Structures are given as structure tokens and as C-alpha cells.
């Protein structure tokens, strides 16, 4: 994939979004490319903080920031009218704007006019490349790992990034393949698959992870979940097109229902989700296997997290680890992914 030409470093815009679940872009950039994050900026009245220096656009520009990144992604992916004055202020302070929202920045007349007046750029990363192909379904060389999930927003991106880093630490030739706006900003390239028309989803996944050296690994960031009532389509397109050799299931131990959908949408047992993903993966790659589980234990203390990982691992007969916590459990998961 051709790398993006993104102005760095960034000021991370938290807008008026106070729920940290919807600030994944800002959190991902803070955690994975902190050297590119000058500070954070929230609108008045928003209590959300990420621990970075709190700077307004003028202060951030004085400290070297070159762009403001819309660091939030609430449901629907819209640029809200209440944000526009702040975004204009950033343009007037000398910052370009970068967004991964569904609403294109250039589609907002006030922003387009301000950008032209200030000589600044409006950069949308949630735009797929033109002329995507329909998937061929043909096998291709190289090795591929795809992170899949029992739900949304539980660690598929972090798991893929952590595994890529761990593979490289072991001397393995590996690339992280980004499929969402935050991953694209971290990696500097990728395809925002949730903005691709359905007929071309699997083709986009093929393009994202082309034929490679037999020993090369592409670690592909998963999206959605096959059991999600809203986002199953993007998960299936990725699964079919990426043709993974290895899957890693991402799960949150305290998640009992589809996030945001309520008690009428219980999550099925992990075993059923594993079987469903393997059934689809093996349509294109009969030898596809589930290497283990990435468990998001962020809401648990160390002792409870260890117990949750060990219990689920024993139940499934698979390595189970939290990549953020790392340690021996994670190293066993890495070894299982790379096993012949």
C-alpha cells in the first residue's frame, strides 16, 4: 500500500465526546505513536482526558504540532455542528485537519472555506482507494493472521499491533495491515474497509494483503464481529478476502451482550464464535486454525485478570493472553501463532 503523506506531529481533538469508548482514535495514537502526539484538546465542559498535555490549537502549533486529528468516533461517524468552530480555530492557528470520520471534512462548507482562506489541508483517511476489484478468491503466497472478535471495540487493533511487534522481535518478517481509521493513522497506510462498498470488501482485503514471500506475515486488523447485528458484513468480507492462515479471537470477559444493543442481543458462547469464524475461514483456506484468544482484561485487577485468562484458556485448550499486559501468557500466544 502506498504510504499517506500526513503532517505530524498531532494535536488530538476530543471534541465533546466524554465516553472513552468513542475516543479510540486518540487513545490508539497516544498508545502506539506517542512521539507524534503533541497534546490533547477537548471542548469546554468535556471531562475526558488522556493524560497528554492539554493544549489549545495556538499552543499546540507553538510546540510544533502540524495537524489536528479528530480523535473521536461516535456512532455514525459524523462531524457534529458543535465541533466546527473548534476545527476552524485549528485551521486559523496554522494546523491542517485530519479525520477518519464518515463525514468528509471537505463536505462541510464552513471548513472548506476556512481551509482555503488559511491555506491549510483537509485530509480524510476514511476514503477507500478508487477502482477496487471484486475478490478473485485465488490463493496467494505468504502467511496471514487476522484478528477476529466476539464484538466490536474490544482489542482487535491492539492485538494485531502487539503481535506484529512481537513477531518482529523474534526476527520474523511481518507487517501490520490497517483496516480502520486509527490503524491507518498509526501505520501510515491501509484501507478503511467499513467505507468500502459491500461488493468490493473481499477484494479490498486481497489488495491490502497481496502475494508475498512464503515466510512473510501480514497481521491484519479485524473489524466488527460475525455475530454483530450491525457490522457482521465487514467482518465477513475481511475474513473471506484476507484468507488467513491463523486467527486470533479477541474477547472481553465481562461482555455478555452486544455493545450498545442491550439485553435483547446476548453474545453467544466463545466456542460458537470460534467455530463460526473457522467455518468461514476454511472455505478459502482449509487448513486455517485458531491460535488462541486475546482477552481484554482492562477492567480487572492483576489477580482477577490472571484467573480470567487461565480459566478461559483451560476451557478452550488454547493460549489466552492480554497483549497489553504481555508476559509469559502473551509469549505463548505468539508462539502458537507462529507454530507450523
| pLDDT, tens only, 254-307 | 999 998 888 899 999 999 999 999 999 999 999 999 999 999 999 999 999 999
By the 8 A CB rule, do 78 and 159 touch?
Answer: no
pTM of the complete model: 0.94
What is the C-alpha separation between 119 and 286, in angstroms, rounded? Answer: 53
Nearest to 320 by CA among 255, 273, 250, 266: 250
**2.30.30.60, 3.40.50.170, 3.40.50.720, 3.40.50.300: which CATH number matches 143-338?**
3.40.50.300
The full set of domain ranges for the chain reads 10-124, 143-338
- Alpha helices per DSSP H over the chain: 24-32, 57-62, 84-92, 109-118, 156-169, 181-187, 201-208, 232-242, 270-284, 302-316, 327-338
Please give the DSSP secondary-structure letter assigned to residue 225: -
Is-same-fold flag (10-124; 143-338)? Answer: yes
For the beta carbon of residue 275, count every other beta carbon within 10 angstroms. Answer: 12
253 alpha-carbon distance from chain centroid: 20
pLDDT tens, residue by residue, 120-143: 999 999 999 999 999 999 999 999
Per-residue model confidence as pLDDT tens digits over 195-240: 999 999 999 999 999 999 999 999 999 999 999 999 999 999 999 9
Class of domain 10-124: alpha beta
Which tens digit of pLDDT belongs to each residue from 60-76? 999 999 999 999 987 77
Amino acid at each position: 500500500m502506498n504510504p499517506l503523506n500526513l503532517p505530524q506531529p498531532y494535536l488530538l481533538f476530543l471534541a465533546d465526546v466524554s465516553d472513552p469508548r468513542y475516543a479510540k482514535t486518540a487513545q490508539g495514537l497516544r498508545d502506539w505513536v506517542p512521539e507524534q502526539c503533541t497534546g490533547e484538546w477537548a471542548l469546554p465542559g468535556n471531562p475526558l482526558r488522556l493524560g497528554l498535555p492539554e493544549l489549545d490549537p495556538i499552543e499546540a502549533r507553538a510546540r510544533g504540532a502540524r495537524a489536528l486529528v479528530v480523535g473521536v468516533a461516535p456512532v455514525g461517524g459524523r462531524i457534529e455542528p458543535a465541533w466546527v468552530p473548534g476545527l476552524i480555530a485549528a485551521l486559523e492557528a496554522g494546523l491542517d485537519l485530519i479525520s477518519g470520520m464518515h463525514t468528509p471534512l471537505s463536505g462541510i462548507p464552513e471548513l472548506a472555506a476556512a481551509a482555503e482562506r488559511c491555506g491549510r489541508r483537509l485530509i480524510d483517511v476514511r476514503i477507500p482507494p478508487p477502482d477496487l476489484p471484486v475478490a478473485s478468491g485465488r490463493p496467494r503466497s505468504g502467511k496471514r493472521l487476522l484478528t477476529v472478535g466476539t464484538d466490536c471495540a474490544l482489542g482487535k487493533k491492539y492485538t494485531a499491533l502487539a503481535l506484529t511487534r512481537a513477531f518482529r522481535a523474534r526476527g520474523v518478517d511481518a507487517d501490520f495491515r490497517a483496516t480502520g481509521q486509527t490503524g491507518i493513522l498509526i501505520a501510515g497506510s491501509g484501507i478503511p474497509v467499513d467505507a468500502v462498498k459491500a461488493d468490493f470488501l473481499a477484494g479490498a482485503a486481497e489488495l491490502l494483503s497481496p502475494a508475498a514471500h512464503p515466510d512473510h506475515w501480514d497481521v491484519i486488523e479485524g473489524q466488527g464481529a460475525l455475530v454483530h447485528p450491525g457490522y457482521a458484513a465487514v467482518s465477513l468480507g475481511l475474513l473471506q478476502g484476507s484468507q488467513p492462515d491463523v486467527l486470533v479471537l479477541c474477547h472481553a470477559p465481562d461482555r455478555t451482550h452486544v455493545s450498545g444493543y442491550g439485553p435483547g442481543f446476548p453474545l453467544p458462547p466463545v466456542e460458537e464464535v470460534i467455530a463460526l469464524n473457522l467455518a468461514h475461514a476454511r472455505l478459502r483456506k482449509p487448513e486455517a486454525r485458531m491460535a488462541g484468544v486475546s482477552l481484554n482484561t482492562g477492567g480487572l485487577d492483576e489477580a482477577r485478570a490472571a484467573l480470567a485468562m487461565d480459566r478461559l484458556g483451560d476451557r478452550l485448550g488454547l493460549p489466552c493472553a492480554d497483549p497489553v499486559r504481555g508476559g509469559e501468557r502473551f509469549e505463548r500466544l505468539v508462539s502458537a501463532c507462529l507454530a507450523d
